[in-house]
Amino acid sequence: NKRALLKGKRLLISAGPTQEKIDPVRYLTNHSSGKMGYQLAAVAQELGADVTLISGPVHLEAPVGVTKIDVTTAEDMYEAVTSRYHEADIVIKTAAVSDYTPKVTYDQKMKKQKQPLVLEMVRTKDILKTLGEKKTHQYLVGFAAETEDVLTYGKGKLQHKQLDMIVINDVSKPNQGFHADTNAVTIVTKKGQEQTLPLQSKRRVAEEILRVISEEVD
Ligand code: PMT
């Protein structure tokens, strides 16, 4: 029964961008709209899973029946995801998490100055890598947003972050990756599956990703 493919499975899905605050009026972010992650959440819920969606700031409605938790910064997302990790069977990290955050957040709006502005940034925690290191029973899925040598870099993340699956997308091409309603991805699994999907709706991509996951988890 296709409808019950993920029945009884607890899924934790992250989606959207993070916002890293510079001062009360400015922040650093990226182009993620949340569409890919929200489609995964919607399809997983329809397949019978118990879905928790950890979402950065986006303009989308949570799919019906999905528990949504809103976060803003990479640090918030780290807390929200890692604190729920033990109770998840499958984790999919679609979110575009900032790799850097300003070293100092100013309490007041920064004033213009004559000199060029130099902003010092520090690294954020790599959530997915932490999950890979702490893995017990979970099936762990990462996304890789690449602009060159996409398969090489993507497969590197599968190994380096100790994942069960990586979904690789080339974000330099039009109509795929950030913001678009369509995507083209290559799915690579630790067990050795490799599948390149043509450009199609993010809903169809989500269905395919979840089908491969359901085959690999018992
Ligand atoms: O939201 P949309 O507009 O629909 O766009 C979809 C998407 C392009 C955002 C999505 O398909 C995608 O590729 N998501 C991953 C974006 C990303 O941050 O890729 P990355 O290659 O930089 O990171 C690799 C993985 O590590 C990701 O699973 C990411 O969630 C995770 N990561 C990254 C940095 C960090 N500090 N912690 C993390 O967990």
Q: Which domains does the chain have, with CATH numbers?
A: 2-106+115-216 (3.40.50.10300)
The set of residues, in sequence order, having a beta carbon less than 8 Å from that of 88 and lying 6+ positions away, is 10, 11, 12, 52, 138
For residue 95, how far is its CA from the centre of ligand 1 (angstroms)? 5
Strand 26-28 with 20-23, pairing: antiparallel
- Residues 188, 193, 195, 200: what is their CA dihedral angle, to the nearest 10 degrees? -70
Rounded distance, CA 216 to CA 189, Å?
9
Nearest to 125 by CA among 133, 115, 114: 133
- Which residues belong to the active site? 30
80: Cβ below 6 Å to ligand 1?
no
Q: Is any atom of ligand 1 closer than 6 Å to the C-beta of 140? A: no
At 1 the pLDDT is 57
CA dihedral 7, 11, 16, 22 (to 10 degrees): 160
CA separation for the pair 17, 56 (Å, rounded): 5
CA of 145 to the centre of ligand 1 (A): 6
CB 178 near ligand 1, within 6 Å? yes
Centroid of ligand 1 to alpha carbon of 98 (angstroms) = 9
Is pLDDT of 80 > 60? yes
pLDDT greater than 80 at residue 218: no
Please report the ipTM that was assigned to this predicted complex.
0.98
Structure token pair of residue 78? 């780290």
**Binding site for CTP: residue ranges?**
99, 109, 143, 157, 161
Ligand 1 atom with least separation from CA of 154: 21
**Which residues does residue 142 pair with via DSSP β-bridges, in sequence order?**
93, 166
How many CB atoms are located within 10 Å of the residue 53 CB? 28
What confidence score (pLDDT) does residue 203 get? Answer: 98
DSSP H helix total and E strand total for the chain: 5, 14
Question: Is the beta carbon of 180 within 6 A of some atom in ligand 1?
Answer: no
What is the residue type of 44? Answer: A
Pairing of the two strands 20-23 and 139-146:
unpaired
Atom of ligand 1 nearest to the CA of 185: 11
Atom of ligand 1 nearest to the CA of 128: 39
Q: What's the pLDDT tens digit per position in 4-44? A: 999 999 999 999 999 999 999 999 999 999 999 999 999 99
Full-model pTM: 0.97
